[in-house]
Amino acid sequence: MLKTELRKDIRERKRQFTSQKLGELSLMLMNKLFENEKIKKARTILMYYSMPDEVNTHKLKRQELF
């Protein structure tokens, strides 16, 4: 698959989720991530500030993590 085709496919897949559903899935993913032992032991975790159609990382705050 060419890069342009792959990007098109990903865009189409991302459009299938409502913002509410994406929020629910994001919360489930973030909870699972922070159950990971390596993440729990980490002193520093670097995350990106998400775009509207990506896993929502906006609600993560330092006090929520520890």
Residue range 18-65, pLDDT digits in tens:
989 998 999 999 899 989 999 989 988 888 888 888 988 887 765 454
Name the nearest CA neighbour of 54 among 32, 23, 30, 31: 23
Name the nearest CA neighbour of 54 among 28, 20, 18, 26: 26
pLDDT at 14 over 80: yes
| Mean pLDDT to the nearest integer, 6-21 | 92
**Res 66: pLDDT:** 45
pLDDT at 12 over 60: yes
Domains in the chain: boundaries: 3-65
**Res 10: pLDDT:** 92
